[in-house]
Structure 1
């Protein structure tokens, strides 16, 4: 095989021969040549020279010279088919490509739109992965300068501080998992232009690190505080929240110095503070504002003129250091841009009926939860004040409202902008004053969360009418007993078209199915994600022995709810009334372990039981009769529960798909997002998504944002 060296292609055959011969003579005369034991073979060199001469003298037509042939270049398949018509290997002409100046003059909005879609793909799903999102942004920034300008603002405008993978090499620090935070802080301190771009800091991995740490908590807080101080235009701190113990901490001080901050959450918690005897002796008999918890709290909220969302939560019912009325009301009044307010767990001395009238008049969202100082009289007075005129979202949680007219006062024309209403408590309101029955009436209300936990009766059965054991007499023309007076009043208002804009209603405990009857019919009330949990118990039952097939009887398997939902629609047993599965659904609901707690899965089971019960009353019957009048086929179909003409959706999904793992917790809210969700205390680590990044662990963790607390 002939091999031509690129460096010698310009030489003539004579020059090549003379150079080769001269090099051979040099090697032969060199004394070191024979010292290494090498022998010069002149016959082999002559043969090589003759071979080169024969190769160079061969004609371009490929004829052989002295029995040798020159090599030919063989075309590849794509080169042979390139110039054929309709060839797959045909190259795209250069004139079809856009010139480079088009991308340089492309509007900035095009790049921003592409980046928004990229963020929606990675972070808008159920298991988001910020790692993949940041990786794609980094790749786009290396494409061109135009992409670099757009992606830089996107990456540094909303920064995700993620914990590194176990195998990722980063500098070893005293506190493991804070390497990226220190590198980011150094970058922002060195480049002030990038530091001014930062608007949001997302660090849910640092929250998980803080919760699992013991003595390193103070160092983690100091690192986050130093990063906050490096961002002069910071607006939101997402995913990292620590309790406030009425003592000095650097993070609270750093956030109080950010004048453009728009969200702030205060979680008051008691902590043991050692008293200094020298300080006590100096301050004895004198008042110092720096030692007053009220003045210190007001000072930390003095420079928050741009704050639009405020959350105040008291952890303990009887705190050692309690916020005064002046601290709460003074903090709220000095925030002129406040639009979303949440108050929970405050004592009666901190927030009472008088404090309701002191709320700012421009609020758009208000959440009142577990406030012992508020009663029905204060809420009735608050519903007629000018503060509620601007509310678009109102949540009343665990306020122990006893009177129905108080609830009807909020779902009324007094709130002309109200779009979302949430009521969640244990006891159902039953009392009302006045000769007339209260009516829920609103022209703008779109969403209702109606949760009365006392109506969570025994597991539903297909043969029951879903009525309570102790029905109350309802003052309506029909005079029939009902399980819940408040739920019946809401259903009557919907049926009478007093809520024309209503689009979604979520009623976890609908004992009679009154609200479900007024909504759109559901094909199934069960979620596909919970199919593996809702199955027939493994222990044998009478139904298993009766309806198990011959092939399944040997293995001992049973017909479960998971098999029922995975069956094709034309083969599902619930399409025909009186099927064996519908008969066994009662025992399935009773034996399901999830029914022991007030979980969303139980509400979905009850709704599914009502759907199957309604299918026993078909809307039409198909009969096939022969010429002699004999019925050959009779089939009932089209039985459903709901109103086809309704535009209201019966929602059975909790906020952020929140499920309670511990079935013994009865008083926990499984449906509404709370302070614990924002603090990140309910996440479970150790799961991995499709991208193989940890979901709910150190990587790929998405925290519940503060705005999700408002419906």
Structure 2
């Protein structure tokens, strides 16, 4: 107590280990663990190592069926905060491919007239204030703004103007990805902004109706008697494409059946000839007066990829002249969609030694080419062809007959009864030429309609031709399916429990095919009947697998595989000296050739879900022949995939909070095809 009352202030006394801790070699001194890699090692790493690591990060985030731009940009941003070396590598990568996403409402973000565009305006301000970063930008990915534009009404022009202002802030822009609007042959800021980007390498033109048609009042104007180049749609379009000397990919798609069209020979050829670096060309939907045989044979040389689609002005004579010219010698990819080639000789001209560099060939049309009476039977051959897509829709047969046991809910017994039509001459010739070795480099065949499995028998055997969605059709007990032959009635004593939970698949009889000696159905119609309780999450996959042409083709391929397993290939019989049979064993066959290097492909380019309601699907036949379904494009990538008219649902990103265009908690990702997927 006397000490506490004294004037000496209290103080703490250090313990012995605290006194020893201050010494240099003390055992009590805390020591930090030495890093496995010292900091100076990162400073001496070459720049290529950082670029390689960042490139691997992009591949991880954007692998097949997995895409989350928000997660990718977040990781790049965090990586840029690590050090100055990482900042240089991550910043260039982050701005070289700008993923502009729609933002949710947030109090810290400025409120805009068009909801969700705050990030775009912040990016535009950054690029304007920092020209060094603006020069890094090569690609702008605006897939979410494509959806915002499609769902908007009066705000469409404002959205286009904002995208155009962002394009103007990128002086070295090469690609505008996933944002494509129709061009109405009038002035719009986006087309004008893209025309000033000299480094542009990819351009998509969606040509619509001519909105610049003169009205009656304008015709009464005396000034209209003189020609003005600024008011000429052809001159305006040529001016918009005059500064693209580095353009390598051009897509020109015209809306089929448009009312007015200012397109002329000069409109197309004049535009194409202004592009010296053009290598990939897509032309689709032009009328018979806009694109003719003369236009086709005026295409430039040195093309790498060419796709012709829905061009009624081109006939077999023009195609033969084009195939025999020097214009096709440089082609590596050739796609012919709905060109309705009539003669088998025309098709053989494309699969000939003249197309010596051809690697990928695609043909998709309704009628099968025939052989005229005065022509010899040609041969198909190609030394370097790797992949072929062979789709002649007139060879499509009825769906395989599935007869389940309703009382026991067992899976249907195989093999399916397969009543496919007889193969046409074109398919038979292709199978024979492949078997004789005229396609030595062929590695994959995709034949959606392969009567009797002629092409499938030349490929490697597959364990199964069904996908998981197709298997659910056969194994899901509550949704047994009953596919009926057009001449077979459903069993009368069927279990009543399936009266409202079945799927009718009926064949609609059509006229006899002109390329077959026997009558066969040419179309198939699918009717779906579900109760309100059966429309669960799995019903979408089941209906898609059974109603879409790819699902039907896979069922037919699977029926041939299982039918081959029922046929005996080798029979072993061993008898003893007394003649008693000791071993009697049979080895069953398989579909295909074991020594073949060709793969039989059963998956389409994209698994699509169209943007329409259930009532619309019933009206248009379940998406087979409805509007926007794209007859013949169920297997091949179309313009609708690039412009996000179709939705591709990925189950791999389910549960990701920042799912790409799925919204927070949406559980799905919307994926758009790239322009290069069209070729």
1:607 paired with 2:557, answer yes
1:215 has 2:154 as partner? yes
- Residue 518 of structure 2 aligns with which residue? none
CA distance in 1, matches of 2:399, 2:480: 20
The whole-number CA distance in structure 2 between the counterparts of 1:464 and 1:141 is 59
Per-residue CA deviation, residues 99-119 of structure 1 (Å, 9 max, x unaligned), is: 222211111111111111111
Aligned to 1:506: 446
Q: Kindly state the Cα deviation for residue 689 of structure 1 after the two structures are TM-superposed.
A: 2.4
**Corresponding residue for 1:584?**
none
Query: Which aligned pairs between 1:125-136 and structure 2 lie closer than 5 A?
Result: 125-136=64-75
- Deviation (angstroms), 1:155: 0.4
Shift of residue 431 of structure 1? 2.0
Q: CA deviation at 1:691?
A: 2.0
Q: Which string of whole-angstrom CA distances, capped at 9 and with x for unpartnered residues, describes residues 265-307 of structure 1?
A: 1111126558574686143211111111111111111111111
Match of 1:325 among 261, 265, 282: 265
In structure 2, C-alpha distance between the alignment counterparts of 1:611 and 1:518, rounded to whole Å: 13
Measured at CA, do residues 332 and 146 of structure 1 come closer, stay the same or move farther in structure 2, by a change above 3 Å?
same
Which residue, out of 647, 650, 654, partners 2:604?
654
More moved, 370-379 vs 679-688: 679-688
Maintained 8 Å contact 1:684/1:696: no
Q: Which of the residues 336, 350, 353 maps onto 1:413?
A: 353
Contact kept? 2:470, 2:546, Cα under 8 Å: no
Pair 1:154-2:154 in alignment: no
Work out whether residues 347 and 373 of structure 1, in 8 Å CA contact, stay in contact via their aligned partners in 2.
yes
Could you tell me how far apart the structure 1 residues matched to 2:275 and 2:481 are?
A: 63
Q: Distance in 2 between matches of 1:331 and 1:19?
A: 99
CA distance in 2, matches of 1:631, 1:172: 89
Contact 1:357 1:382 survives alignment (8 Å): yes
* Structure 2 CA distance for partners of 1:634 and 1:647, relative to 1, 3 Å: same
User: 1:656 Cα deviation (Å)?
Assistant: 2.7
Q: Which runs of 5+ in 1 are unaligned?
A: 1-12, 22-48, 62-69, 74-79, 83-90, 470-481, 544-552, 561-588
The structural deviation recorded for 1:342 is 0.5
Higher relative helix content: 1
Alpha-carbon contact 1:189-1:195 (below 8 Å) kept: yes
Do structure 1's residue 707 and structure 2's residue 666 form an aligned pair? no
In 1, Cα distance between equivalents of 2:253 and 2:632: 16
Structure 1 residue matching 2:221: 3-state secondary structure: helix
Q: Which residue does the alignment assign to 1:524? A: 464
Secondary structure of residue in 1 paired with 2:176? strand
| Cα pair distance change 1:515/1:262, threshold 3 Å | same
Matches of 2:352 and 2:181 in 1, distance apart?
A: 39
- Who is 1:182 aligned against? 121
Identify if the C-alpha distance between structure 1 residues 104 and 537 changes in structure 2 by more than 3 Å, giving closer, same or farther: same
Which of the numbers 56, 63, 71 marks the counterpart of 1:117? 56
Aligned to 1:85: none
SS at match of 2:636: coil
Stretch moving more, 259-268 or 460-469: 460-469
Instruction: Pick one of 354, 363, 378 that aligns with 1:438.
Output: 378
**CA contact 2:167–2:173 (8 Å) conserved in 1:** yes
Contact kept, 8 Å, 2:104 with 2:116, in 1: the verdict is: no
Structure 1 distance, partners of 2:385, 2:565, is 32
Asked if the contact 2:69–2:660 (Cα under 8 Å) also holds between the matched residues in 1, the reply is no
* Superposition deviation, residue 165 in structure 1: 4.0
Aligned partners of 2:340 and 2:366 also within 8 Å = yes
1:449 has 2:389 as partner: yes
What's the counterpart of residue 43 of structure 1? none
Q: 2: distance between equivalents of 1:392 and 1:456?
A: 29
Deviation at 1:164, TM superposition (A): 1.8
Describe the shift of the 1:489–1:327 C-alpha distance in structure 2 as closer, same or farther (beyond 3 A): same
Match of 1:566 in 2: none
Kindly report the root-mean-square deviation, in angstroms, between the aligned alpha carbons of the 2 structures.
3.7
Q: Cα offset for 1:534?
A: 5.0
User: How far apart in 2 are the matches of 1:107 and 1:16?
Assistant: 67
Does 2:25 correspond to 1:100?
Answer: no
Aligned equivalents of 1:352, 1:407: Cα separation in 2:
19
Q: Which has the larger radius of gyration?
A: 1
Partner SS for 2:45 = coil
Aligned 8 A contact 1:379 1:406 in 2: yes
Matched, 1:681 2:653: no
Q: CA deviation at 1:402?
A: 1.0
Change (3 A) 1:702 1:280: farther
Show CA shifts across 1:413-445 (max 9, x none). Answer: 101110000000011112246553111111000
* Aligned mate of 1:694, from 647, 659, 676: 659
**Residue aligning to 1:173:** 112
TM-score normalized by the length of structure 1: 0.76
Q: Distance in 2 between matches of 1:210 and 1:92?
A: 56
2:566 equivalent in structure 1: 616
In 2, Cα distance between equivalents of 1:685 and 1:493: 39
Rounded to whole Å, the distance in 2 between the matches of 1:385 and 1:100 is 63
With over 3 angstroms needed to count, the CA separation of the structure-2 counterparts of 1:684 and 1:384, relative to structure 1, is closer
- Once structures 1 and 2 are overlaid, which stretch shifts more, 354-363 or 665-674? 665-674
Shift in alpha-carbon separation, 1:396–1:408, aligned structure 2, 3 A:
same
Report the number of matched residues: 589
Contact residue 164 and residue 698 of structure 1 kept, 8 A: no
